[in-house]
Amino acid sequence: MNVLYEDNHLIIVDKKAGDLVHDDITKDKTLSDKIKEYIKAKYEKPGEVFLGVIHRLDRPVSGLIAFARTSKCLVRMNEMLQQKQLHKTYFALTQKKLAAQRGTLVHWIVKSSSQNKVNIYNTKPSLKDAKEAIMEYEIVGENGGYYLWKLNPLTGRPHQIRAQLSAVGCPIINDLKYGAAETDDPHSIYLRSGILAFTHPVQKIEIIAQALSEHERLWGLFDLRKFSIKSQ
């Protein structure tokens, strides 16, 4: 397990594609369970270890994910998430691109629990569960017919990035659920949470976690490290 930041309040790890963040019907061991075991062993903690999920990543997605080690921190981080003070930058690979190199995508999303996916609309549908999905994008690289996208979702909807890129005809490579033609790994799609930036809810210091050294398989076509940002 790759721990990128850790203190008494927070822990940030680089999630592997295929890792399950929290319990689902598969009953597979979760990343949360693994982190609890890590904390329990490292700090020789007796009894149950508290760990709160601040935000989630879909199982086939890799990259940064933060957990709270105290209930106080969890409450504050959830408040920051609601107030859009937790800034997340994602990277994706596709085999198609839009004519505009950068822009903002706006759609409406309706979750379908029976299909474990979302349905997406260009205009607001007459469905009470419809949620607006907004995402800034920039196509920042091209190599051998593959395109690298830098993505900033302004709303945190389920499957938002995957569904929105699919809706504009640019499905993420390997993402069969949202329109990819084929896959070289059924447990992994080419979507990565690369940068996580926020003010520490307790210590009030700037936290910039970055996981930009991915180079396996098609990621090796691009150097994500050039998108790293420095603390102010």
Residue position matching structure tokens 């945190």: 156
Q: What was the pLDDT predicted at 231?
A: 58
> Tens of pLDDT along 19-28?
999 877 778 8
Query: CB under 8 Å to 37, separation ≥6 — which residues?
Result: none
Q: Which fold has domain 2-227?
A: Pseudouridine synthase (3.30.2350)
Q: What is the mean pLDDT of residues 115-127?
A: 93
Q: Are 63 and 211 in contact (CB under 8 A)?
A: yes
- pLDDT bucket at 218, cuts 50 / 70 / 90: very high
Neighbours of 44 (CB within 10 A): 7
What is the enclosing helix (H) or strand (E) of 207? Answer: strand 206-210
Burial 101-137 (b: 16+ CB within 10 A, else e): eeeebebbbebeeeeebbebeeeeeeeeebbebebeb
28 or 136, higher pLDDT = 136
- pLDDT bucket at 229, cuts 50 / 70 / 90: confident
Q: What is the DSSP letter of 147?
A: E
Residue at 112: amino acid letter: S
> Tens of pLDDT along 191-200?
999 999 999 9
Instruction: Residue 20: name the closest of 45, 53, 43 by CA.
Output: 53
Q: What is the mean pLDDT of residues 47-61?
A: 94
In order, the DSSP letters of 70-101 are SHHHHHHHHHHHHTT-SEEEEEEEES---SSS
pTM: 0.94
Rank 94-103, 176-185, 220-229 by mean pLDDT and report only the highest: 94-103
Q: What was the pLDDT predicted at 1?
A: 83
Q: What is the mean pLDDT of residues 101-116?
A: 93
Q: What is the DSSP letter of 47?
A: S
- Paired with 199 in beta bridges are 206
- pLDDT bucket at 141, cuts 50 / 70 / 90: very high
Q: What was the pLDDT predicted at 150?
A: 98
Instruction: Residue 221: name the closest of 93, 60, 84 by CA.
Output: 93
Q: What was the pLDDT predicted at 230?
A: 74
